[in-house]
Structure 1
């Protein structure tokens, strides 16, 4: 019984770095690569970080109901391929979707057992500093991202777990604990160890 994890956070909370480290240290866990209409940033690779597509290509997939969720974030569109997620789960691989709260709502409609994890910064000041230190945006864009972040953070209570990314390693430990806890649920363990249980009982 594979798990679908939905991890959301405002821009600048360190979600991508945390997920990357989590994947590296956890067997049987992967990220579903999303489609996006934005251009690749330096170092990003097509098919690894995202599938970078045109707005026309994105609309075509969406029209054919090929996304488990899709959303507009700032001026761009993002979507997670439905069949990719289903195939990974069917093969017994736990899957992470890195999406926003709007996408999480959509996922819950199709995958009611999806586990939601929301990541918050330790303060608004820390978030602004992280956005500034990235050196990717000017002040006007950072101000806009901060406004959007405050709005996004109001939806934390729609998720199952809350992680505060103040200390990176502690936040990573929290995420790892959540993954392990879900794998140890009775429903998962009884299915995994069904042959053993038959010999014990």
Structure 2
């Protein structure tokens, strides 16, 4: 009954859910803003975060998790406090379109269920918006350099996730000044 009430709530508000789907490391987060601009999408759910424009609204980043299973649980809003935080923010925010990013249609469907929002009405596959070469470069960047992309400016990351920002600065220093370059550990 509660699920029906929630779906009715979103239907009355006229909210449409989009999904961006692709394998891990194929550049979904990198392309999220382009997809949002193309379809007039105001909010994005990516790896446990709720994002509006250039700001983190709620949630915590799965990219911060040390273990793969922890990252999956965070991205799927397994933790009740994390999930409730994002659900409240979704109910509080005014928007008409939301992009849910996941590695599969099943994953985006589970995220929608957990956050009590409608299922995606449009599914966009990364292969439809990126060339094979671009996907290959993204995969290489993830595997070789360990790079993760969060679709918000560095200032927002620094403010909310200083350890992620610190790690990216450390990688930059090592590339620019050699393997001995480092910053003091925070």
- Work out whether the TM-score is over 0.5: no
- Structure with bigger strand share is 1
- Structure with bigger helix share is 2
TM-score of the superposition, structure 1-length normalised? Answer: 0.39
TM-score of the superposition, structure 2-length normalised? Answer: 0.41
Instruction: Determine which structure has more spread, i.e. the larger CA radius of gyration.
Output: 1
